Amino acid sequence: MKRKTSVCFAIVFWVLQASATYSAPQQSERMRLEDLVREALDRNPEIRAAGRAVDAARSRVSPAGALPDPEMMFGQMNEGNILPFTTLGDPDAGFSEVYAGFNQEFPYPGKRALRRKVAGLEASAEESRYRFTRLRVVSEVKSAFYELYAVHKSLEVVERERSLLEQVEKVASTRYSVGKGIQQDVLDAGVEISRLDERLIALQQRLKTSEALLNSLLDRPNDTPLARPGEIQQSSLAYGLADLTRLAEQNFPLLESEQRAIERDASALDLARKGKYPDFGVTFVYHNRGGNRDYWTIGGTLKIPLYFGSKQRYEIEEAAANAARSRAAYQNTRAQTLYRVESAYLMAETAGRLLKLYDEAILRQSSFSLESAIANYEVGKVDFITLLAAWNRVLNYELTRHEHLAEYQKALAQLEPLVGVELAGE
């Protein structure tokens, strides 16, 4: 009986551990990251909205530099008679005429070019924000994919280990029934099964949350079923922190947007200063006097900045404040960007070092420890609690290894919109 129990125990821990698979429904096809990215770029509503904002900004450039619409004028004049056209051409009825003309306003030289420049720079800034939106959404899709991968892997491990522990519980019960074990071993195995059930509940909730996030990024209903993610490999990080910092200063779209905003507000300040100078207009009117000789009026208008102290002066002050704000905003964005680059880089570096440690040492050592605990338990040298502790370490280390891989890939995904270089893949 002792030999039979020993063999059974070895089969439980090693055959099942090697061959058992995740009991959740299997998908015929695995979800591919590149397909998700392509779909997000096509369907994500935030990207579409940002694209329409660019279209709107571009459409404002041409009108900004156009001349004001001309003003048409027309009318009739009678002397001594209010009824129109009744005395037109009658030399004895006094003065009478009909007239038509127009007035065209011309802004002070340089204003139209500055308005067009301001609108063009705003469109350029909007384009940079659009590029950032695309990069950020792709980064979020990748992070959601890696999170979903980690959850599925954790579910796979916990489901497998739960099946294994159920077999262990049966072995402990058999040993107890033949006087080779104690009832406490059976109870402890049941407690561990319940703890795994608790983990499964938490993982299922995390799975639903991750799926809902990914569906929202793809503009799908939140309850749309998703296939399991395909296997991922640890991506290599070929850049150091100094290289990533340089790339961020060169490529980060929001920094480029802030630079365009500085130029825009500088031009807007120049435009406000030109508000001190008058706009003028040209007027042409044709006068028809019926049978009498026609005549024409040619003249002009001039807008005098008479209220400069209460109007244009404050417009200049506002434009100067906006220009200073843009420069400060650029410095803040730059500082925040460099911080985010360093933070994501350190996260990736730390997760990468931990992955190496788990692959080269921790997982192997914990497996040896479990093997030793099994052998010693079979001959009565260690108790069941010691065996469960060794088993728990293997379980936790395997789960943690998947989490570190996901965190590493997510850190690379977070770097991508900052540095403008693709770093993370499947």
Q: How far is CA 115 from CA 67, 122, 321, 388, in A?
A: 11, 11, 18, 75
C-beta separation of 132 from 420 below 8 A: no
* pTM score, whole prediction: 0.84
Would you say 155 and 22 are in contact if contact means Cβ atoms under 8 Å apart?
yes
Question: Is 143 a residue whose pLDDT tops 60?
Answer: yes
Question: Which position has the higher pLDDT, 17 or 102?
Answer: 102
Average pLDDT (305-324) is 92
Residue 100 in tokens: 């038509």
Residue-wise pLDDT for 326-346, tens only, equals 999 999 999 999 999 999 999
Percent residues over pLDDT 90 in the chain: 62
The pLDDT tens digits for 103-132 are 999 999 999 999 999 999 999 999 999 999
Mean pLDDT value of segment 384-396: 85
**pLDDT reading at 398 higher than 80:** yes
- CA dist 341 to 337, 338, 353, 414, 415, Å? 6, 5, 18, 8, 6
CATH number of 2-67+107-419: 1.20.1600.10
- Separation of first and last alpha carbons in the chain: 50
- Which pLDDT band holds residue 426 (cuts at 50, 70, 90)? low
Confidence of residue 27 (pLDDT cuts 50, 70, 90): very low
Residue 24: pLDDT band (50, 70, 90) is: very low
Local confidence band at 15 (pLDDT 50, 70, 90 cut-offs): very low
pLDDT for residue 175: 75
- pLDDT value at residue 331: 97
Residue 106's closest CA among 297, 286, 300, 269? 300
Report pLDDT digits (tens) over 37-53: 999 999 999 999 999 99
Mean pLDDT of the chain: 88
Contact 121, 264 (CB under 8 A): yes
Q: Quick: pLDDT tens for 246-284.
A: 999 999 999 999 999 999 999 999 999 999 999 999 999
**Reading across the β-sheet that carries 96-106, which strands appear in turn?**
71-78, 96-106, 280-288, 295-302
CA dist., res. 408 & res. 411, Å (int)? 5
pLDDT band at 92 (very low <50, low <70, confident <90, very high): low
Residue 300 DSSP one-character state: E
- Under DSSP, the state recorded for 84 is T
Q: Are 14 and 378 in contact (CB under 8 A)?
A: no
Give the whole-angstrom CA distance, residue 377 versus residue 379. Answer: 5
